Amino acid sequence: MEWRHKDLLDVTQLNKEEVQHIFETATYFQEINSRPVKKVPTLKGHSVVLFFAEASTRTKTSFDMAGKRLSCDTFSLAKSSSSLTKGETLKDTALTLQAMNPDGIVLRHWASGASQFLAERLDCSIINAGDGRHAHPTQALLDGFTLYQEWGSLEGKTVLILGDIAHSRVARSNLILMNKMGAKVRFCGPRTLLPPQIRKWDAEVYTDINEACKGVDAIMCLRLQLERQQDGLLPDLREYSNYFGLGHKQIELANPDVKIMHPGPMNRGVEINSELADCEASLVLDQVASGVATRMALLYLYLTRKK
């Protein structure tokens, strides 16, 4: 497939065939990641700036490792070490980076739309690694790829996304991707953590965790994003855990071979029972491994496209 996209801003840009192509490409790179020597010269001579204006462990390290395993030069830039702390605008920072002629910029930013802002102004590829509450396309792709490896297809499956939906860019991106690949999506959380327009989304919405878990094929817990929340949305963490934390009772209500997921970082004992996070049905660490392969696929596709 000839890759036609300059930037990855949201999964809405991709059709089903393109997502499938990413999965197939990631499958190839997953095999490379299992070799004794995990490095190929595929992107030798290319360079990528990892510009993370928000804190990140998994996404940043995953992109860094993905680039290095493809022999791509990666350069990390955090807000604390950039001129943003001195009052420089995002535009001027990006133009400065472009003057150094990178092939791509992976951007995480607290402002929704930041990646699109850069994509409209820069010639190099922009890959959105999370922008505000808007989108996290690479997380959705790696989540989808993780389930694709388990099932072979997402068609006809039911996936429950549980927790802080209102503040989650992961929930929005996963909804679009799962629906695109033929899966049904359910959302469940406290009313105060559900977006006002959620009833218009293409998903079933629950406020009772036990009802939401009945017959599902996968359950994805979300982190409580307390840093984005206003006071008063939750009485306390203990009450949240009692009513919306994933436990053994909910797993018994789901399909027998249900898969358990979490994009991380996890708050054990709050969003998910610690034993479940480590059980055989858990795909949490598989998601991390899939993240490297998926991001290798994305760097390859976007950096080698015909211009």
> 226 falls in which pLDDT band (50, 70, 90)?
low
Confidence of residue 230 (pLDDT cuts 50, 70, 90): low
| pLDDT confidence tier of residue 272, bands split at 50, 70 and 90 | very high
Share of the chain above pLDDT 70, in %: 95
Residue 264, marked binder: yes
Q: Is the pLDDT of residue 145 over 70?
A: yes
Mean pLDDT of 42-71: 95
- In this prediction, residue 156 carries a pLDDT of 97
Mean pLDDT of the chain: 93
At 256 the pLDDT is: 96
Locate the domains of the chain by residue range.
Answer: 11-135+289-303, 137-287
Check residue 37 and give its pLDDT. 95
H-helix segments, 100-192: 114-119, 137-151, 169-180
Given a cut of 80, is residue 212 above it in pLDDT?
yes
What pLDDT band is residue 235 in, cutting at 50, 70 and 90? low
**For residues 90 and 98, what is the distance between their CA atoms, to the nearest angstrom?**
12
Check the annotation: does 196 bind a ligand.
Answer: no
Q: Span 234-249, mean pLDDT?
A: 86
pLDDT digits (tens, 9 = 90+) for 109-121: 999 999 999 999 9
**Phi first, then psi: what are they for 77, rounded to 5°?**
-140, 120
The distance from CA 264 to its chain's CA centroid, rounded to whole angstroms, is: 10
Q: Confirm whether residue 133 is marked as ligand binding.
A: no
What is the third-level CATH fold of 11-135+289-303? Rossmann fold (3.40.50)
Mean pLDDT is lowest, of 89-98, 118-127, 153-162, 255-264, for 89-98
- Classified by CATH at the fold level, domain 137-287 comes out as Rossmann fold (3.40.50)
Spatial separation of the C-alpha atoms in residues 163 and 225, rounded to whole Å: 10
Amino acid at 250: Q
Q: Both tokens of residue 69? A: 């395993």
35 is in an annotated binding site: no
Is 136 labelled a binding residue? yes
Domains 11-135+289-303 and 137-287 share a fold: yes
Sign of CA dihedral 142, 143, 149, 154: negative
User: Any known ligand binding at 58?
Assistant: yes
3-state percent breakdown (helix, strand, coil) of the chain, nearest 5: 45, 15, 40
Q: How confident is the model at residue 78 (pLDDT cuts 50, 70, 90)?
A: confident
- Residue 191 marked ligand-binding: no
pLDDT recorded at residue 228: 52
The answer to whether the annotation marks 305 as part of a ligand binding site is no
Q: What is the DSSP letter of 86?
A: G
- Other residues' Cβ atoms within 10 Å of the Cβ of residue 160: 28
For position 87, what pLDDT does the model report? 80
Q: Residue 227: its pLDDT value, please?
A: 61
